[in-house]
Structure 1
């Protein structure tokens, strides 16, 4: 950690929280990493499984799920079979998720670079029909990647809002106080 990535405490604070540690959080949108005071990590058990709707738009995902679902061989009553198949599918989806890389950022950079290359080529020469169709496909792919990235950010912001709650900022309180004062009627 550099000098700027430090925090100051006094002895009273250290007595109140003896197990406090300083961590560097992951940056959201910038390259700055915020520092966070926290407690030592506590193992709360296994993390719950979360299904992302963006998986449905990935090519081959539904075929993967369907193939796995019909390959499970369980024999008992219907409720037991359903529960067992869901547990098996959950573990297979966890393995599938770990093998899937998030190509959105790489695909976006590649698409933008290829579109720029074709447009630069178009300034010098005419594009062939094949190159024009490639350009159209790249633009379509870029749009799909942008939609996936945006849905991922929306999902992350929803999780963050659910986790941290809606914080009324100092600015919001100041604006509401000014509006309340301007709407005040002293008398008639």
Structure 2
């Protein structure tokens, strides 16, 4: 199944089927791992028709556990399909780089954290450049710790609201839900929606960073 017109050559592109496939990937929160090597994974025996029919779809948790995962389209032998390989490409570039996510601006208290940390870090240096460097290093450390705490709180909140939602839905199924239950249900749905939106924003930014670092693997075709 192809996702866009550029993944098919010499045959008709079915936009409706592609939309259904893309919706499935999006609704399932799956990541389409970029494939390097070749542009197409299938070719007919005359070479007049080619498509990208094979791909790796992984979950967000898999991507977080193996952030350096890449896919490669290998040389084609006798079969009409090129084999694809999933591997983790890890290079030691030193300390983990500090990545700033846009979603952090939407977290309560983040702006104040930045302002207070910058003003009250207690760093005193005669050399302005040295002072600036140390202030940035301290700010990154404070942000990392603060974000780690927020992520833990968000995970706990998500678990609590998922459980509350399941409990309320069970009461609705049994016909014993009251007005407060429905109000709490709306609140839980909103909270979970906000959490999912921020998580999706971070995931999209991660994907853009990964794409920018690896480049467009199709340009070499």
TM-score (norm 1): 0.56
> Is 1:118 paired with 2:168?
yes
After TM superposition, list the pairs within 5 Å mapping 1:49-128 onto structure 2.
Answer: 49-75=98-124, 79-80=128-129, 81-101=131-151, 107-123=157-173, 124-128=175-179
| Equivalent in the alignment of 1:20 | none
Greater Cα radius of gyration, structure 1 or 2 = 1
Q: Map Cα deviations across residues 79-101 of structure 1 (whole Å, 9 max, x no partner).
A: 44544422321222233344444
Q: 5+ unaligned residues in a row in structure 2: which ranges?
A: 1-56, 67-84
Specify which structure has the higher proportion of strand: 2
SS at match of 1:36: strand
Q: How far apart, in 1, do the equivalents of 2:204 and 2:101 lie?
A: 12
Change (3 A) 1:138 1:73: same
1:69 match: secondary structure: helix
Output the CA distance in 1 between the equivalents of 2:187 and 2:158.
Answer: 13
1:166 maps to 216
Quick check: 2:168–2:177 contact (8 Å CA) kept in 1? no
**Higher RCO (Cα < 8 Å, 6 or more apart):** 2
Kept in 1, the 8 Å contact 2:103–2:202? The answer is yes
Q: CA deviation at 1:128?
A: 3.2
Match of 2:87 in 1: 36
RMSD of the alignment, in Å? Answer: 3.6
Post-superposition offset of 1:77: 6.8
Aligned twin of 2:202: 152
- CA distance in 1 between partners of 2:207 and 2:91 (Å): 24
Q: Distance in 2 between matches of 1:152 and 1:37?
A: 21
Does the CA contact (< 8 Å) of 1:104 and 1:145 recur in 2? yes
**Length-normalised TM-score, structure 2:** 0.49
Equivalent residues of 1:69, 1:89 under 8 A apart: yes
